[in-house]
Structure 1
Amino acid sequence: MYHTAGSPGRRAAGVICALVLAACLATLCLFYVVHPGGRASLSSPVSGTAGVGGGGAEQTARAWGHTAAAVSQPSKTWYLAEGSTGEGFETWVLVGNPRADEATVRLTFITAAGPVEGPTLSLPPFTRKTVNAADTAPDEAEVACVVESDTPVVAERAVYGGARRWAHCSAGVCEPATTWYLAEGSTGEGFETWVLVFNPGASPAEVGVTFMTDTGGVEGPAFTLPAMTRRTINVADTVPGTWEVSTCVESNAPVVVERAAYGAGGTWATCSAGLTSPEQSWYMAEGTTAAGSETWVLVQNPFATAADLSVSYMTPSGTVPGPAARIEPFSRRSFFAADVVPGEWEVSAEVSSDNPVVAERAVYGPGRAWATGSAAVPTGGTTWYMAEGSTGSGLETWVLLENPSGSECTTHLTYLTESGPVQGPTCALQPGTRHSVNLADTVPGRWDVSTVVSSDGPVVVERAMYGERASTVGSRTLMEGTVFETTAYTLTGGGCPAGSPTVMVMGGVHGNEDAGFKTAETLTRAAVSRGKLVAVPHTNQAAISIHARFYNKDLNRCFPGVEEGTAEDRLAWELMELARDSDIDLLLNLHSADNFHLADPDAVGQTIILDDQAIAVQAGRACDTANLSITDPIEKYSLLLWPIPTSATYAVYYGEGKPAFGVEVCEKMDLARQCAEQLLVIKAFAEQAGVMIDNWDELLR
C-alpha cells in the first residue's frame, strides 16, 4: 500500500593512517581512513517525495491536518468512540446547532473508571460551541463521549497530540450497530493502527474482530466489553508488518467503532468512524496529488465473493477514469490516485463495484508531515452538515464539494459561528467535478465555525482543516523535469535579517541510506525561531526511487559539479549553487554505515567526518554535546578525518570556505533510533551556529 524504506548496509574498509580522535575536546586527535565503495542494497519500496509545499513561493507550512466527511442529517444523540486526555493529548467535542430552535446539549465522557458527567450546553439557533474533554475527564488515556440533545444537532470530535504535531478528527455516529467495517489500516514499517470499540449500552457485548489483508482474512481477538466502557485494540498484535489491513468488528450487542492510525514517532495521524453497510458505490470528496501530496483510495471486500470494481477521479476540469480491479474475498486493495491524476490540487474519487464493498480515503502531505483520512459516503445528498471548523490564528478550514452526477448543481454554504449564522458563497458545480471553498474568505478569524451545505442536486461534501507552523518556508526545485528532480526547503525564523546564521542539511545523497533522507524529512517540520535552515531531504531522488547507492554514478564523488555535465554532475553543481545563494555557514551531509566505528575501526557508523583538522574543535563540541544524550557507549559519536576531494563537504569547505561535515549513523540500530541520533548531532551543530529551533523535543520523539 504505502511506500516505505528499509535499511541497506554500508561497509567501509582500509585504514591507511591513524591517530586517535576522541569525542572529548581535551584529547582531540585524528583518524585517517580510506573507504572504498561497496554498499548492499535492499529492494524495499521508497517513501514519497518529502517536503512542505510546492512551487517556489514562500509559505507557512502545515504542521497537521484532519478531515471528516459531512453528515446528512442532525441527530439528538451522537457517539464518539475515540479520545484521550492523557499526557500530550487534547480532545475537543464540537457541537453545532443548525436549527432555528435553541438546543440543550448534555455531554457524558466514558473513561476506564466509568461514565463521567460532562457539561450541559445551551446552543442558540445556528451557533456552534466547543468543549474540552480535559475540563471534565483530565489525564485519561481512553475517553469516549456521548452527546445528547433535546433537539437535533451535529457533533464531531478532534484529537491533537505532541504539542499539535499531529491531529485527527471524526464525525460522530448517531446509532450503535452490531457490525462495523474499517477499510483503512496498516502495520507496515512506520505505521500503527488501532481499533477503538465503545459499548454505550447497559449490557455487556461479546465482540469479535477479523482483519482483512491483501492475502485474505485473519481472525483477530474476541472479548467481552462491559457496559459503558471502551476497548482499544492494537492491530499489530495480530497482523504485524502488514501494509494493507481492513477490519470487521462484529458484536452481539450494538457498539460504536472507530479506527486511528499513526505515523512513526507520531508525525501524523488519521481517524475515521466505521461504516455499517457495504455498498456498490462510494464517494470521497477530498484528495490531492500536487506538490508531493499523496492520495490513496482503500477498498475492503468483506464478503466471500470477489468484487470487480472501477475507480474514477473528479477534478475541476472533469472526470478521469481510473483503474479497474478485482478484490478477492475477505481482502483489501489500495489505489494511488497519482497513478492516474498526478499533480492535481483538487481530486475527488468514486468507487463502483458489482458487489458491495467498503471504502476510505487517506491523504498524506509532502514528506508525510501530516495526514488526513475519511470514510467514504455511499450517495450524494442535497443537505450536509459539518460541526468542526476554525479560521482563527494559524488555522485553515476548507469545504470540499464533489458533484458525481450528470447535471450541474448549485450549492450554497451557511456558516454557524459562536455569534450566529453567516451566509457563505454559492457555487455552481459542473457534472463530474470537484470544487474547494476556503472558509476564511467569508468568516476570517473565527475560532468556532460549523458549516451547512445545501444543493439543488446531489453532491458529496467533506471538510479539511489544517494547522500552521511558525516557520516561514520557501522552496526551490532542483533538476526540474528530470528523474533527479527534487525540492530544497528553506525554513526561516525571527524575520531572518541579513547576516542571520544558515545551516544546510542534505539527506539521501546515497539512495539506499534511509536514515539520511528520513532525518532530513523530519527537519522540514522544524519551528525555526532564529536564523535559517536549508533542508534537502531527497538530494538524490533518482537513486532513492530505486533504493540504490547511486543512479548512474556516485553523487558524492561529483562535487563541485559541472553545469553542463552528466545528470549527477549537474545536480552537484545545482547543490553548490543552492549553498552559495543561501550564503550558508555550515553544511551537514547525512549518511549511514553498517557497523559502529567504536566496535570496528574500519567502519564509519556513529562518526562525524571532517576534511581538515582545522575544524576539529567545532566538530568536537558538537560530538560532545550529542553524546551527552546517548547512553549506550557503543553508540557514541567519534570524529573521523577523511578528506575526499570530490565530496560535497570537501567542495564546500575548500571551495567556499565554509565548515562542512558528514554525519554517519549506524544501521545496526532501528531506523527511528538512527534518525534520532543523527538529529542530536544536527541539533548540536545548529545551536553552535546560532540557528534556533523551538520544537527539538517534538522532532526527536
Structure 2
Amino acid sequence: MYVGGYFTLIGGETRSRIAAIDATTGIPTSWDPGGDASVDSLALSGEVLYAGGGFQYFGGDDLQPYFAQFGIPAPTLLEVSPLSGEVGAVVTVTGYAFGTNRGTSYVSFGPAKATSYVSWTNDQVRCRVPSGATSGPVTVTTGGGTSNGIDFTMEQSAPTLSSITPSGAVNDGIVDITDLKGTSFQAGATVKLNKAGESDVTATNVNVVSNTKITCKFNLVGAALGAWNVQVENPDGKSAAKQNAFTVTQAPSGLSTWYLAEGSTSWGFDCYISIENPEDEALDARITYMTDTGEVDGGVVNLPAESQTTVNPSDVLGAKDFSTRVECLDATRTIAVDRTMAWSPAPPIFEAHNSVGVTGPATDWYLPEGSSNWGFECWLLIQNPNATDVTATVTYMIEGEGPVAFDKEISANSRRTFNMADDIGARDASIQVHCGDPVIPERAMYKDSRRMGHDSIGTTEPNTEYYLAEGTTGWGFTTYVLIQNPNDAPTDVVVIYNTTSGPVNGPAMTMPANSRQTIRVNDYMPDTDFSTSVFGTAPIIAERAMYWDNGTGEAGHDSIGMPEPHTAFFLPDGEAGGEDDGVETWTLIQNPNDEGVEVRVTYFLNGGGTPLTFTDTVGANSRKTYNMADELSERGASVQVECLTAGKKIMVERAMYWANRTAGTDTIGGFTFRSVNCRPCGESREGDPGCNQETQQAP
C-alpha cells in the first residue's frame, strides 16, 4: 500500500513524505522518490500513482507544484504456495506492487503465462498453473517491470484413459493394442488388465508413442472371459483406470486357420502342402492362394478323420509364386498345416525345405537367422492377408554393426519377395518386420547355387526363455544357434544344452542392443545330440540352423525356437521309406522340466486309417529322438505328440531326410495347451490325465 504525509521517518526507515508499505509485514519497501513538503492525498489508477499536496518537487526534480504522478515500481515476490503442482492447480503468489487490477499484468511459470486467474490484488494473486509450464522460477510482470523469481516444481498430471483399440479379443494368444488413448502418458509407463478374482495381465512391448497414445501387447492365453479394467501407471506412481473397457471372449476350440507365407511352383520348385486332421471325424478345408496379382481359389479338400492329406498347388496355379491360407470349415475343430518345397540344383541331387504355418497374422515378427554373406541368398517373403495395401518396416539387425530399416509395400491379399542383399549387401543379420496392419513373413536362404536351402517362420514374441528341440554335433552335422536381441539396451544371455544324459552349460555373453549373435555349437560340445535352452535378462529370440554333407554337397535345415513349452504338438508332413527317396522322419522331444515326463506319439496315416501310437518317458532336462520307420514303412503320416504328465509341457520338432540325407527339412509343430478332442466343456478324451481347460495356441 502507499502512504503520504509530512513524515521523514516511517516504520523505522527514512522516507520523505511518501512511502510504499508491504501490507503483509508493515515494512516500507525500497521505493523512495523523496518529496520536499507534505503529501496530502494519493490515488492509484491501474499502473499509475497520483499524489497531491504542498510539495514543489520530488527527488530533486521540478514537477508541477502540488501535483505529481509516479509509475508503479517493479513488483516483488515474497512467497509462492504451494511450491509444486500440476497443470490446472491453483497457486497463490504473495508480494507487493502487483497493482489493484490485473490489466495487462500476468504471472509466468517458466516460459508459460497463466491464463486463468482466481483473484488479483496489489499484494496477492491466485491463478492456475498453465499448460506448457516448466519447473523453474515463478514471476509477476506489471507495467513496472518483472519481479524476482521463486522456484516452482512442476508435477506431471495423472494420466487419463479414454479408449482402447481393439476393445476386446479372444483368449487364444497375443493381441496387439494399436491405440490406447488418453492424456499425460509418460515414457516408462506400464499397462495392465485387471479383473476381480483374476491375476493381472501385464502388457509387453509397451511403446509410449506420445503423451496421448500407447501401443502394447497382451498375452490372453487362458485369460478369464468377460470385461476387464484397463490400467496405466506412470513412473511417478500416478495412474488411471478405465472400468470394463476390454472384453475377453472365448476362442474357437480348434486351430482352424493357417497361413503359409512362402510358396512357389516356379523357378524349378516343386511344392506340396500337408494337412493334418487329428480329430476323430472327417473335416473339410478351403484353400486360398495369394499371388502377386491377388487371390486364387484353391478349392475345398476333404480331410478324413485322423489323417494326413497332401495338396499340390501346381494343380491349380501352374508355375507361380504364392502364399497360402487354409481354413477348416468348422472353426471349432483343429487342423495343422505345413508346406514343403523341393528343387534339383544338379540332377539327380535335390534339396528341400519345410515350415509349419502360423494361425494368424501379427503386427510384429522376429527372425533371428539371416545372411546375404558367405555365398548365401536370403529372401524375405511377406504375406498380406488384408483387404487393403500395407507398408511394412523391415529392420535388419546387422551382426557387429547395428540396425538398418527399410519400408516395403505389399498389395492387398498378395505376397511380396525381398532380397536382403538389395538392402544391406553382404551381411549377417537378424530381421524384424513391423506393420500397422497384421502380416505374415517367412525367410528362405540358399547357398552354393541353391545346392543348400532352408526356410523358417518367425515369432511374434520375444521372451526371456527360448527353446530349440533339435540339435546335434554328431553324425556329420554342424549346428549354429542364432540369438536376436531386439531391445534398445544390452542383455545378458546364458545357453544350456539338454543332452540325452542331462543339462550341459553352454556359453554366456552380453549382447549389444538391437543385435544378433551366432554360436557354433560344435566349438563347445562335439559329437552330442542335444536340445537348447536360451535365457536372457531381457526378452530375446532364438533360432537354430544345421548343416551337413553326405558327399553330394552341403545341405541344411533351420527352425525358429519357441518361447514356452506346450502340452500337444502337430507335425503335418512325415513319411517312412519310399521306393525312390528313402525318406527318414525323426521326431525330437525336449523336456525342459526338472522331472521326467510321459509322452504319447501318434502317427496319422496319409489318407486315413487306424492311427499308430505308443508312449515313452523323456528324462528331466533331456531330449529324445523317435524314428517313424520303427513303427511303419513305405507310407506317409502326420505326427501328434502329447505330454501326459499333469501340469508339465514339452517342445517338439520334426526333421526329415531324403536319399541318404542328400536333402533335409526341419520345423516346429503347431501346438495346443490341451488334448485335441477336448471340447470347450473341459472334458478330456478317455485315457488322458485331465484337461486344464486352457485355450489353444499355435506359432
Q: TM-score, normalised by structure 2?
A: 0.55
1:28 maps to none
CA distance in 2, matches of 1:454, 1:106: 30
Once the two structures are superposed, what CA deviation does each residue of 1:569-599 show, in whole Å capped at 9, x if it has no partner? xxxxxxxxxxxxxxxxxxxxxxxxxxxxxxx
Pairing 1:411–2:599 present? yes
After superposition, give the CA deviation of every residue in 1:178-232 in whole Å (9 maximum; x if it has no partner). 1111000111121111111010111111111110012243324313211111111
Are the counterparts in 2 of residues 385 and 453 from structure 1 also a CA contact under 8 Å? Answer: no
Q: Give 2:339's aligned residue.
A: 157
How far apart are 1:450 and its partner, in Å? 3.5
Instruction: Compare 160-169 and 289-298 and name the one that shifted more.
Output: 160-169
Q: What does residue 234 of structure 2 align with?
A: none
Indicate whether 1:218 and 2:403 are aligned: yes
**Alpha carbons 2:461, 2:563 under 8 Å: kept:** no
8 Å contact from structure 1 (residues 177, 255) kept in 2: yes
One-letter identity of the residue aligned with 1:234: N
8 Å contact 1:204–1:253 — kept in the other structure? no
Distance 2:652 2:282 in 1: 26
1:212–1:245 contact (8 Å) kept in structure 2: yes
Mapping for residues 571-586 of structure 1, pairs under 5 Å = none
Q: Does the CA-based 8 Å contact 2:368-2:431 persist in structure 1? A: yes
Give the drift of 1:360: 0.4
1:436 to 616, 621, 625: 625
| Structural mapping, 1:519-558, within 5 Å | none
CA distance in 1, matches of 2:366, 2:644: 29
State the shift of 1:291 in Å: 3.3
**CA deviation after TM superposition for structure 1 residue 421, in Å:** 4.0
Provide the rounded CA distance (Å) in 1 between the counterparts of 2:660 and 2:559: 23
Structure 1 residues 74, 240: CA separation in 2 closer, same or farther (over 3 Å shift)? Answer: farther
Contact 2:306 2:611 in 1 (8 A): no
Question: 3-state DSSP class of the match of 1:136?
Answer: helix
Tell me what 1:652 maps to.
none
In structure 1, distance between residues paired with 2:614 and 2:549: 30
**Which whole-Å CA distance do the structure 1 matches of 2:408 and 2:638 have between them?**
40
The Cα offsets for residues 318-340 of structure 1, whole Å up to 9 and x where unpaired, read as 11100001110111001111122
Alignment of 1:658-697 (within 5 A): none
Is the CA contact 2:478–2:548 (under 8 Å) kept in the aligned structure 1? yes
SS in 2 for 1:101: coil
Q: Which amino acid aligns with 1:126?
A: E
Which of 304, 309, 325 is residue 146 of structure 1 equivalent to? 325
Partner residue, 1:491: none
Question: C-alpha separation between the residues in 1 aligned to 2:450 and 2:574?
Answer: 23
Deviation at 1:420, TM superposition (A): 2.5
Matched, 1:317 2:501: yes
Deviation string, structure 1 residues 292-328 (Cα, Å, up to 9, x no partner): 3111110001110111010111111111100001110
Q: Residues 276 and 310 from structure 1, CA distance in 2 versus in 1: closer, same or farther, beyond 3 angstroms?
A: same
Change in CA separation of 1:469 and 1:119 when aligned onto 2, cut-off 3 Å: farther
What corresponds to 2:284 in structure 1?
104
Report what 1:401 is aligned to: 589
Max Rg structure: 2
Match of residue 371 from structure 1: 556
Structural mapping, 1:263-278, within 5 Å: 263-278=447-462
- The 3-state SS of whatever aligns with 2:629 is helix
2:483 pairs, out of 296, 299, 302, with 299
1:12-23 mapped onto 2 (5 Å cutoff) = none
1:168 aligns with 2:357: no
Q: Say which is worse superposed, 219-228 or 268-277, in terms of deviation.
A: 219-228
The one-letter code matched in structure 1 to 2:565 is G
**Post-superposition offset of 1:391:** 1.2
Shift of 1:92: 0.9
Aligned-pair identity (%): 35
Letter in structure 2 aligned against 1:144: S
RMSD, aligned CA: 1.7
**Aligned equivalents of 1:239, 1:292: Cα separation in 2:** 32
C-alpha contact (below 8 Å) 1:391/1:443 kept by paired residues: yes
Q: 1:120 aligns with which of 282, 300, 307?
A: 300
1:38-77 to structure 2, matched below 5 A, reads 75-77=255-257
Answer yes or no: is 1:284 the counterpart of 2:284: no
8 Å contact 2:370–2:430 — kept in the other structure?
yes
One-letter code aligned to 2:527 = G
Higher relative contact order (CA 8 A, sep 6+): 1
Quick one: which amino acid aligns to residue 268 of structure 2? G
Query: TM-score, normalised to structure 1's length?
Result: 0.55
Cα distance in 2 between the residues matched to 1:167 and 1:105: 25
- What letter matches 1:361 in structure 2? R
For residues 491-510 of structure 1, what are the structure 2 equivalents within 5 Å? none
Q: Does the alignment pair 1:464 with 2:655?
A: yes
Give the Å deviation of 1:454: 3.5
Deviation track 1:582-623 (CA, whole Å, cap 9, x = no partner) reads: xxxxxxxxxxxxxxxxxxxxxxxxxxxxxxxxxxxxxxxxxx
Partner of 1:424: 613
Question: One-letter code of the match for 1:95?
Answer: I
Letter in 1 for 2:490: A
Q: Residues 414 and 421 of structure 1 are in contact (CA less than 8 Å); yes or no, is this contact kept in structure 2?
A: no
When residues 155 and 204 of structure 1 are mapped into structure 2, their CA distance, relative to the original with a 3 A threshold, is same
Q: How does 1:5-16 map to 2 (within 5 A)?
A: none
Q: Distance between the aligned counterparts of 2:540 and 2:570, measured in 1?
A: 25
Do the aligned residues in 2 keep the contact of 1:302 with 1:357 (CA within 8 Å)? yes
Q: Deviations over 1:56-98 (max 9, x none)?
A: xxxxxxxxxxxxxxxxx95111000001001310111110111
Match of 1:69? none
Write the distance in 1 (CA, Å) between the matches of 2:608 and 2:453. 32
Q: Structure 1, residues 417-453: CA drift from partner, whole Å, max 9, x if none?
A: 1223423332211111111000111121112433343
Tell me, what secondary structure is at the counterpart of 2:286?
A: strand
Query: Tell me, what secondary structure is at the counterpart of 2:657?
Result: strand
One-letter identity of the residue aligned with 1:391 = A
Q: Deviations over 1:629-660 (max 9, x none)?
A: xxxxxxxxxxxxxxxxxxxxxxxxxxxxxxxx
Larger helix share, 1 or 2:
1
Q: Secondary structure at the match of 1:238?
A: helix
Q: Alpha carbons of 1:469 and 1:362: their partners in 2 closer, same or farther (altered >3 Å)?
A: same
Distance 1:232 1:412 in 2: 39
- Are the equivalent residues in 2 in contact too, given 1:413–1:454 (CA < 8 A)? no
**1:197 is matched by which residue type in structure 2?**
I
Do 1:313 and 1:341's aligned partners in 2 also have CA atoms closer than 8 Å?
no
SS of residue in 2 equivalent to 1:341: coil
More strand by share: 2
Alpha-carbon distance in 2 for matches of 1:158, 1:449 = 13
Residues 165 and 266 of structure 1 are in contact (CA less than 8 Å); yes or no, is this contact kept in structure 2? Answer: no
Helix, strand or coil at the partner of 2:522: helix
Which of 191, 194, 199 is 2:376 aligned to? 191
Match of 1:133 in 2: 313
Distance 2:660 2:586 in 1: 18
Aligned counterpart for 2:262 among listed residues 65, 70, 82: 82
Q: Equivalents in 2 of 1:144, 1:392: separation in Å? A: 29
Rate the CA distance shift 1:252–1:133 in 2: closer, same or farther, 3 A.
same
Cα 1:252–1:259 change in 2 (3 A) is same
CA distance in 2, matches of 1:125, 1:303: 45
The aligned counterpart of 2:535 is 352
Any idea what SS the aligned residue of 1:370 has?
strand
Match of 2:568 in 1: 383
| Aligned partner letter, 1:357 | I
Whole-Å separation in 2 of the counterparts to 1:382 and 1:224 = 38
